[in-house]
Amino acid sequence: MEKTKILVVDDDTDFVFFTKTVLEQNGYEVISAVNGSHGRAVLAREKPGLVILDVIMSSVLDGLNMSRFMREDPAFGDIPIIMVTSIANTDYSTLFPTDENIGIDAFLTKPIKPADLMGKVEELLSAKGGEK
C-alpha cells in the first residue's frame, strides 16, 4: 500500500525537520516547500493527501494566500489543510483574518506537540477516507 504523501510548507527548517520526523515515524511520506509559490509548484507536481501550511513565510500572509489558491482550484480544493503558526505571538497577529472563512480544516499553534500533530493529521485523513 502506498503511503499518504504530506506536503509541509514552511520556511522554518527546524519546524520542517521536526514535522517530517514525526510524520515519517508514523508511516507517512513527507515532501516540503519553503514558501507559498514553491508550495503551489510542489502541490501540482506531487498531489499530496494533506498539506501542513505556515502563515508567515516570504510575506506576512503567504500561507493564507496558498490556502485560498487551493480552495479556489478544483484540482486541490478537497485536500485537507492544517495551518500552523506562531502568529499569535508576533506583531502580525492583528493582520490574521478572524472574520472570514480562510479555507483551512484545522489550526495548530507552534510549538506543536507530536501527539497533537498526529491526532489532527489522522483525524483529517480518516475524514477524507485516506490511509497511511
Average pLDDT over residues 46-71: 86
Structural class in CATH, domain 5-128: alpha beta
* pLDDT tens-digit readout, 102-120: 678 988 888 899 999 999 9
Q: How many CB atoms lie within 10 A of CB 29?
A: 17
Mean pLDDT, rounded, for 13-34: 96
Q: Would you state the pLDDT for residue 127? A: 87
**131 has a pLDDT exceeding 70:** no
pTM of the model: 0.86
